[in-house]
Structure 1
């Protein structure tokens, strides 16, 4: 067992940031370390994550709203930085790891000021705004994709491709075979828009499934995560079309739903892609067009190129197009199993362990730190 230390994980309060942070927390605690979480009010209340982890809410503004908004955000971040420095006096972290999102910035800025080793983890295939802002100051940059857009060449020597950590329950699915799919058996479809849901899926998917051949349509068993404002209409639509469907605004046991799914229809968020590739499940992906830097399209590129998914831009995501892609996959069990295997081949099941190894190395003497890393400059002091 490695020497017990304290680590602070800092993340914005969305599932894309919180799930990999929680996976790293579990791995670090398994190794005997203590972990504290710094986030916003959403993050510390995220259901089912960070049990046994002390949590702290720090103020962090968003750089929006013009000059006045920027001034207000700077004040909030400065206040959050001061609070983080007070936390570090008692918790004494060996390193601070940021997972993106504005709430991560004050914690990292405080670490720079106190000369505490730092790293960031990027879940997406495009380096996010906060991670771009601090990339020159941190000791290491952990990436989820072999190619990460918006990562400056000067920072590549301290970049480490570890993958995107997922929950243990999802990793366990790698040992389970792809669900048996008989030509006239039940065909299970999982529809999910990530932690925020996706209205377009609720509007298009029922009508798209209704366009499938009758024999295929009668085999469907759908589990659909919908936004609260969309769920009643979607439920009524499935009932009208006589498609067996279970709907919920939140799926408390998503790994088990994923285990039984023959096909997933989803957004292309970082956590969704990493879970699909960890479990080995084929998908039809509809990237969120308003995602910053169009990072969901970039996220979907690897699994799509490998043959584990089909990507449909939202502008082309119509009932007819969905039905066409469903038939190409669903009517050929061998092709679907092949797509599942190709998705699985893209997975990084050791991401949490590899990221923990990198994190543990951060408080070693400078000579043993990852190649290319440097101690933070004084700009944030």
Structure 2
């Protein structure tokens, strides 16, 4: 450690969407010689990918639903968590506490403010999350992943910094690799995933949509698709009936390599997914999860769609309850029968969008480059620069924060490299 090393606390809810950027920042801060600790819940402490050097402190985190009767229990948990965090800060003495959203971040941020510790929040989505909305007026800086963030009050604009959404080093390393060669005769490799647990709607509509493609395109398909365990055999049977080459699995450890080989991605629109697609430069057909909080996945796709790097398909809310449930009840089966027309329309939309993007090799390559131009590859380092500016004794740190206070000062698309072929 150097004489200028400091302590930082990262606080994040127990989901991959919150923790992935927290882990990326931890790596960057540790590389710069700082000590880093993590505050999360039990679920977050068990998520794969946590750096070995990062000590996790599990705090109670109250949840606040629509029922006011549950708020008393939630408030009690937050107060207990705040007290535990304050005791941690007495010994760890952080220069700043950085919240990444989710309820476990709330007591950590409240404890920091009552202890006089600077605070920063990072928003991964294009809609400010509930905890970040609650804390936006009280923190010292707000880091965002998108230039336009819904539910972010304009009065906070002076402390907003566009940094992007940090991605895994293995994915970021692919940014300067060219888009895989795509010709009118060669293989057409499509990667289909629905997040960490898959998405039943993709198992329902993607095989049917691919089967609707013209034979000249369909015969060249090579599909890699993530499915839920209960969907595997049904989807495998569909692809066999359609004569489409497909590799299916519930989890792929080498997802970065598969993304590198893919000509087209089909899947959900979570913040980490969008960040990885734009970091690598892969065109996509995105189907936002309709029940995502504040419909944030629909907001996440806007920048990429506007740039020409993706097409978005809206999934009707009526298809969610049964398709994304864990099993098939009699009622769910009846509902699915009624929804067959809706699913067919979604499958046709998938087919139409694929044909629009892959009708000529240059069309798909141009979409890949448009996606690449939306990437913010310096997200981890820019976020580290931001948080280093708080609580430092070195006057140069104070000067540097002042100079970097403009929104996205060190960001912007790099040109002349990457996805264009």
TM-score range, shorter chain: over 0.9
Does 109-118 or 317-326 show the bigger shift?
317-326
Structure 1 match to 2:408:
none
Whether 2:166 is the aligned partner of 1:165: answer yes
Structure 1 match to 2:269:
268
| 1:153-180 deviations in Å (ceiling 9; x for gaps) | 1111001011111111111111110001
Whether 2:386 is the aligned partner of 1:358: answer yes
Shift of residue 132 of structure 1? 0.4
TM-score (structure 1 length as normaliser): 0.93
Shift of residue 114 of structure 1? 0.9
Which consecutive residues of structure 2, in runs of 5 or more, have no partner in the other structure?
Answer: 317-341, 406-421
Does 166-175 or 360-369 show the bigger shift?
360-369
Whether 2:335 is the aligned partner of 1:334: answer no
Structure 2 match to 1:15:
16
Shift of residue 240 of structure 1? 2.9
**3-state SS of 2:306 partner:** helix
Output the CA distance in 2 between the equivalents of 1:250 and 1:35. Answer: 30
Structure 1 match to 2:259:
258
Whether 2:123 is the aligned partner of 1:95: answer no
| 1:14-61 deviations in Å (ceiling 9; x for gaps) | 121111111111111111111111112221222233232111211112
Structure 2 match to 1:321:
349
Does 110-119 or 227-236 show the bigger shift?
227-236
**3-state SS of 1:318 partner:** helix
Q: How many residues align?
A: 373
Structure 1 match to 2:42:
41
Does 69-78 or 210-219 show the bigger shift?
210-219
Task: Report matched runs for 1:198-209 at 5 Å.
Answer: 198-209=199-210
Output the CA distance in 1 between the equivalents of 2:95 and 2:122. Answer: 17
Shift of residue 222 of structure 1? 1.2
| 1:346-373 deviations in Å (ceiling 9; x for gaps) | 1101111100000100114796555999
Shift of residue 277 of structure 1? 0.7
Does 65-74 or 266-275 show the bigger shift?
65-74
Structure 2 match to 1:139:
140
Structure 1 match to 2:181:
180
| 1:120-157 deviations in Å (ceiling 9; x for gaps) | 00011111110000011111000111111111111110
Task: Report matched runs for 1:297-316 at 5 Å.
Answer: 297-315=298-316
Output the CA distance in 2 between the equivalents of 1:160 and 1:224. Answer: 36
Shift of residue 307 of structure 1? 0.4
Task: Report matched runs for 1:225-236 at 5 Å.
Answer: 225-236=226-237
Does 341-350 or 186-195 show the bigger shift?
186-195
TM-score (structure 2 length as normaliser): 0.85
The alpha-carbon distance between structure 1 residues 232 and 370, as it changes in their structure 2 partners (threshold 3 A), is: farther
